[in-house]
Amino acid sequence: MLRVAVVGSGPSGCYTAQSLIQRDPEVHVDVLDRLPCPYGLVRYGVAPDHEKIKSLQGSLRTVLEHERVRFLGGVRVGGPGGLPVEHLRGLYHAVVYCVGAATDRRLGIPGEELPGSWSATEFVSWYSAHPDAADAGFLRGVRSAVVIGVGNVAVDVTRMLVRGAAELRPTDIPQAALDTLAASGLTEVQMAGRRGPAQARFTTKELRELGGLPGTEVTVDPAELALDPADPGALPAGPRRNVEVLRDWAARPATPAARRIRLRFFLRPVELLAEGGRVAAVRFERTAPDGAGGVTGTGRYEDVPAQLVLRSVGYRGVPLEGLPFDPASGTIPHREGRVLRDGVPSPGEYVAGWIKRGPTGVIGTNRPCAKETVTSLLADAPALGRADVPADPVEALRAAGVAPVSWDGWLAIERAEAELGARLGRGVVKLADWDTLLGAARVP
């Protein structure tokens, strides 16, 4: 029998566990997570109004409920107070790190730290009820917001900013975030890309959704679209469809609406400007296409007023103490999923997901990624299986002072979230802080 630990219960962790149990009847998998709740970014990254994507939790659940898989929540690996990587390695025949990309990329421009300027990740964590997220008063006094970046996360946060109470109430958004978003006085969001429409990273389905939001008008400046020399006919399908949607919107006559989303292009952020100690505007330099997909500065600037700035310029992996790390890519160096220490595969250590390949791709991209890693692991299995490991790693974890939240504990959290929703006259409503989550998990 081969005992494998998978660190991280998001899509990459669950797909890794699934591939392991499907391909080898002798493998037993423990899926560890630092949170008492499973599903990673499906629970704490997918926007609450994207119920269809969230329903993927159903298939991840099937994996975690498999008889040869155990969920061990509330187990931090590495870092202060966490279980050291070397200790964990000694408890299992193999460990697969599926820890994602836990932080955000920085802009590196003056004013980035001003009150009122947040990473999109912080905002997403707040409306997703992540227990580490703070209610930072994101929307206090905000009339206009700027979202920097034109990827799918930028689209998510833009959409969430303009959604009304009627649309959010049926979702599992925590009550405090729902109340704040419902009461917000925000009337305009400008989402800005430093390059052109043909280089935008959002997918067409997500882009189109912005055009159907109740009470919200989407505008695109035809002059900014015209700057792009790209012939849409020559573009790959995704960018071509994006440009077509944007051109349609640019050609539409303006209609009055309570809220407006402006999609902007060829604007590179150079500074966040303050007023009264808070962010008041973003200074952008206008850029021009360089003919090769990049842009050059023009020396012309535009200040866009904003009392809230969300920097949505991508996620970034963080180093895990005891494991190698490539700071340039924010990933753990690997060959076909085998962790490389000084360029040599380290026996029994593997990676999958964003910490392996960087923060790109949709949830489904994690399937082939996990499969590749599992192929490597199972090829190594005969040698790995010879190691002496404890009969039950959970006993060893308890002896090391770690008290994992079991699957039953998670089910108790689910019940508590359903009960909270019922009390509020809503469906399931997420619990948003550590004490409440852990308290619920301990209810027998």
Residues in contact with ligand NAP by CB under 6 A are 105, 107, 148-154, 156, 193-195, 199, 201, 206, 269, 312-315, 359-362
Q: Is 101 helix (H, G, I), strand (E, B) or coil?
A: coil
- Quote the least distance from Cβ 272 to ligand NAP, whole Å: 12
- Quote the least distance from Cβ 79 to ligand NAP, whole Å: 23
- Quote the least distance from Cβ 254 to ligand NAP, whole Å: 26
Q: Compute the residue count for the chain.
A: 444
Q: What is the dihedral of CA 431, 432, 434, 435, to 10 degrees?
A: -60
- Smallest CA-to-CA distance from 9 within 27, 36, 28 is with 36
Q: Which of 160, 181 has the CB closer to ligand NAP?
A: 160
- Quote the least distance from Cβ 192 to ligand NAP, whole Å: 8
- Quote the least distance from Cβ 249 to ligand NAP, whole Å: 18
- Smallest CA-to-CA distance from 102 within 6, 35, 154, 171 is with 35
Question: Which residue has the closest beta carbon to ligand NAP?
Answer: 151
Phi, psi at residue 110, to the nearest 5°? -60, 140
Q: Which of 109, 182 has the CB closer to ligand NAP?
A: 109
Query: Is residue 312 classed exposed, middle or buried when 0-12, 13-18 and 19+ CB atoms within 10 A define those classes?
Result: buried
Angle, CA of 314, 320 and 324, to the nearest 5°: 100
Q: Which of 20, 363 has the CB closer to ligand NAP?
A: 363
- Quote the least distance from Cβ 101 to ligand NAP, whole Å: 8
Count the Cβ atoms, other than its own, within 10 Å of residue 109.
15
Q: Which of 146, 440 has the CB closer to ligand NAP?
A: 146
Q: Is 362 helix (H, G, I), strand (E, B) or coil?
A: coil
Strand partners, 338: 335, 350
Q: Which of 52, 386 has the CB closer to ligand NAP?
A: 52
Q: Which of 196, 337 has the CB closer to ligand NAP?
A: 196
- Quote the least distance from Cβ 153 to ligand NAP, whole Å: 3
Q: Where are the alpha helices (DSSP H) in 69-131?
A: 85-91, 120-127
How far is 320 from 84, CA to CA, in rounded Å? 10
Residue 126 carries which DSSP code?
H
Q: Which of 107, 416 has the CB closer to ligand NAP?
A: 107
Q: Is 328 helix (H, G, I), strand (E, B) or coil?
A: coil
